[in-house]
Structure 1
Amino acid sequence: ADYWIALQEGHLTYGTFEDYKSIINRHIKPSMKGLRMRDVLPDDITRMMKEVANFSKSVHDKTYMLAKQMFTNAYDNKLISENPCPKMHAGGRDPVERQALTNEQMTTLIEAVKGTRAYVFCMIGLYSGLRREEILGLKWDCVRLTGTPSILVKRACRFVHNRPVVEERLKTKASRRVIPIPPQLVQCLQEAKASSKSCYVIGNEDNTPYTETQFRSMWDYVRNRTVGNKSYYRYRNGKKELYSFEAKLGEQAQNNPKVKYTIDFKVTPHILRHTYITNLLLSGADVKTVQYLAGHERASITLDIYTHLVYNKPEELMEKVQRAFPSSE
C-alpha cells in the first residue's frame, strides 16, 4: 500500500495525495493487517467495506476505489493471480444536502463583511463560483475588467503545513476555464484593484498569497458576525479560562462595538460556490454550460448534485413530454 501510494504522488495534488494516504492508513491497512496480498479474498474486501459502512459516502467510496486500484495494479504486475475486489459495494452515509444562500442571505452576508478582508473573497465566490484554492491563487493578470469582463482560472493555491503553494496544476483539466463575470463583481474588483499592492487579488503586499492561518483569520470576519454559541479564552490570575456566550441576532459584540451579529445562517467558503451554481441552474442555464462554468469534469457530476434543481417542476416536465409525444389530433 505504501509503495503504491508513493507511485501516485507525482500525479495528484498535495491535498488529494494526503487524503488518499489517510484513507489507506486509517481504513485499508488496519483491516488487511497480517494478510499477504495474494491471500486476500473477496470476503476480506467485504469485511473491510462493512467497517466503513457508517462513515460518509465519500470515505466509503474512496476506500473501495483505492483498494481496487491497488489490487488491480498488483494483478497487472503479476504479483497476484486474481483480483479480489468484486463489484462496488453500496454503503456510506449520504451527505447532508447543502442549502444555497437565498438572495436575501447573499445581501446580508455581503453587507456584513463589506469593508473587511473577507469582502472580495465572498464576492468572487458568489458571483464566479471559484473554488477556495482558485480564489486564493487568482492573480490580477487573469482578471479582465474591460471588454467582456471575465476571470481566467489557471492557478490554485493549496496549503502545505500552513505555507501556500501556488501552481498551475488544477483539480482537473476541466477546472481551467474562462468565466464571464457580472457587473456586481466587476465593480468590486475594480475597486479592489485600484487599492491593491499585490499581484494576487487576495494576497500580501510582498506579492505572496495568504498562508492557511491568514485565510482562517480572514474568514473569522464571517464567523465573528454569525449568531450562535461562541467561546473564547481569557487569562485570569495567570490561568487560561474558557468563557462561552450566545451571540444573538442584532446584538453588538461585547469586545468590539463595531461588530454586529447579523448572519443567522450557516456560511462556509464552499457554500459561496454552491450558491453560484444553484443560481445558474435556477436561471435556466443548461447543464453543459453550468458544467463548464463550474469546472466539473463531467456533466454527470453536475447532475448528481443538482438534479433536484434541474427537474423540480412537474409542469415543465409535462411540456417536454408533450413536445416529445405530440397529440395526433
Structure 2
Amino acid sequence: MQSNKCTFLEVFMANKYKYSRTIVIGHKDDGTPIRKYIQDNNKARFEAKVRAVQMLVARGGTPGKVTVEQWAWQWYHTYKEPHVGESQRNNYEEHLRLRICPAIGFLALDNVKPFQLQEMMNNARTSKGKPLGASTAAKLHYITHAIFEQAEINGLIASSPFRRIETVGEDEKSRRALTRAEEQIVREVAKRHYAGPWVLLMLDCGLRRGETVPIGARDVKDGLLCISQSVEYKTKSNQPTLKSTKTAAGARYVPIPAELQKQLDMKSRYFFHIGNGRMLSMTKMRRMWHSFYRACDIAAGAELYRNAVVKHAFDPAITPHYLRHTYCSNLRRQGVDLKTAQYLMGHADISTTANIYSHVTEEDVRELQV
C-alpha cells in the first residue's frame, strides 16, 4: 500500500516554486513508484511541462529530457513575448497551441527528425480544420525554424533538424491596386458616404488602417499630415491601444490634399471617433468599411433582392489595404522616385515598395499604346 505522506523533496518544491506537481512515470521491479518532479514559477511553462510528461508516459516515452513543447514555450517567453504586441503574442501562441505542440511537442528535443517536421508542416490546419494559407504557413515555418535554431545556439541540440523543410500552404489572393474604374467608384461614393474622409486618408495619403485611428487636428500642419502613432486592438476588449508605428520608418510626414483637409473636423482630437469622443473600436471600424463597401457595390451595379445583395458587382476581396496599395501605384504613375515613395509609404525595406512599383496592370500597358 502506497503512503500518502509527502516526501521532504515534495515539501521543499511546494515552498520554493509557485506551481509544482509530482507524476508517477513508472515502477521499479519491486513495485516502488518512479516519480517525476515538475516545478516552475510560470504557469504556462509549468502546464507545458506537465502535458509533455503525461504525453510521453502515455506514448511509452522516457521522461527526463527536454521536450519540444517545454523548449518551445521557454523560447517564446524568453525571446518573443517581451518584445511583441498583443496581436503578435496571440499569433505565436496559436501556432504553439494548435500546430507545433500537438504534432511534435511530446518528442525529446534532441531526437526530432526532419521528416517529423515536414509531416507537421504538411498536416498543419487552421482552427476550423482548413489548410493553412501561404502567409500563415510561412509564419509557422519561421517560428519552428527559430525554435530549433535557438536550441542549437543554447547547446540543447547538436544541430537543428529544421533544414530543407518545405513550406506548405494554399495560394492566397494577393493584394492589388484598385483599377481605374474601381477607384472612380470609390471616389464618387466617398463624396456622399459618412466614411468617405476615412477612406480617402488611406487612398490619398497612404495610411495604414491602424494609423487612421489616432489621427487628429494636432497632426495636420501646413498641408502635411504627421503620422507618429498607430493602434492595436486587444482581442477581448475590442478597444484600441496606442502604440508606435509598425516600423520606425512608419513615422513620417505625408501631403494631405486640400479638399480632404476641408472635410476633416480641425477641432477634433480624433477625426474618427465613437460617440463619447474616444478612438474607434474594431467593431465600429469594420462597420464603417462594410457600409462603405456596400455603397460601392450598389454603385457598381450589384443586384439586390429585398435590399440584400444577391450578386456582387464590386470585387468582394477588396479590403482597406487595397486603398494604400493604390496610393503607392498612383505615386508610380505620377513619376515619384522609388526612395521618396518608400518614405511616403513608411516601408522599412525599399524592396517592399519596389514590389508594388513593379506591378504593371493591363491598364498601364494600354496607356503605352499609341
- The equivalent residue for 1:203 is 273
Closer, same or farther in 2 for the Cα pair 1:262/1:30, shift >3 Å? closer
Residue 151 of structure 1 is matched in structure 2 by: 225
How far residue 263 of structure 1 moved from its aligned partner, in angstroms, is 6.5
- Between Structure 1 and Structure 2, how many residues are aligned? 284
Task: Check 1:301–1:84 CA distance in 2 against 1; reply closer, same or farther (3 A cut).
Answer: same
Residue type at the aligned position of 2:166:
H
Equivalent-residue separation in structure 2 for 1:304 and 1:191 (angstroms): 33
Q: Which residue of 2 aligns with 1:165?
A: 240
1:49 maps to amino acid: M
What is residue 192 of structure 1 aligned with on the other side? 264
Q: Which runs of 5+ in 2 are unaligned?
A: 1-71, 126-130
| Whole-Å separation in 1 of the counterparts to 2:304 and 2:124 | 44
Deviations 1:53-99 (A, max 9, x none): 95322112111110111122222222223222214635433332334
Cα distance, 1:224 vs structure 2: 3.0
| Aligned equivalents of 2:214, 2:312: Cα separation in 1 | 29
Query: For residue 147 of structure 2, what is the aligned residue in structure 1?
Result: 70
The aligned residue for residue 97 of structure 2 is 25
Matched residue SS, 1:308 = coil
Q: CA shift at 1:17, angstroms? A: 2.0
Which structure has the higher relative contact order (CA within 8 Å, separation 6+)? 1
Structure label with greater radius of gyration: 2
Shift of 1:21: 2.0
Aligned to 1:325: none
Partner of 2:353: 302
Q: Deviations over 1:258-310 (max 9, x none)?
A: xxx99634431111111111111233323222222212221122234542339
Q: In 1, distance between residues paired with 2:313 and 2:213?
A: 24
* RMSD (CA atoms): 3.2
TM-score by length of 2: 0.67
Mapped contact 2:197–2:263 kept (Cα < 8 A): no
Percent of residue pairs identical = 27
| Residue identity opposite 2:242 in structure 1 | E
Partner of 1:85: 162
Give the Cα separation in 2 of the matches to 1:279 and 1:88.
39
Alpha-carbon offset, residue 156 of structure 1: 0.8
Consecutive unaligned residues in structure 1, runs of 5 or more: 229-246, 317-329
CA change 1:153–1:88 in 2 (3 A) is farther
Alpha-carbon distance between aligned partners in 1 of 2:341 and 2:359, rounded to the nearest angstrom: 15
One-letter amino acid matched to 2:100: I
Which amino acid is the alignment partner of residue 125 of structure 1?
A: M
Relative to structure 1, is the Cα distance of residues 262 and 48 closer, same or farther in structure 2, using a 3 angstrom cutoff? closer
- CA deviation map 1:188-245 (0-9, x unaligned): 2233225x5x3112113543101112112222321332548xxxxxxxxxxxxxxxxx
TM-score (norm 1): 0.75
Contact 2:325–2:356 (Cα < 8 Å) also in 1: no
Change (3 A) 1:69 1:279: same
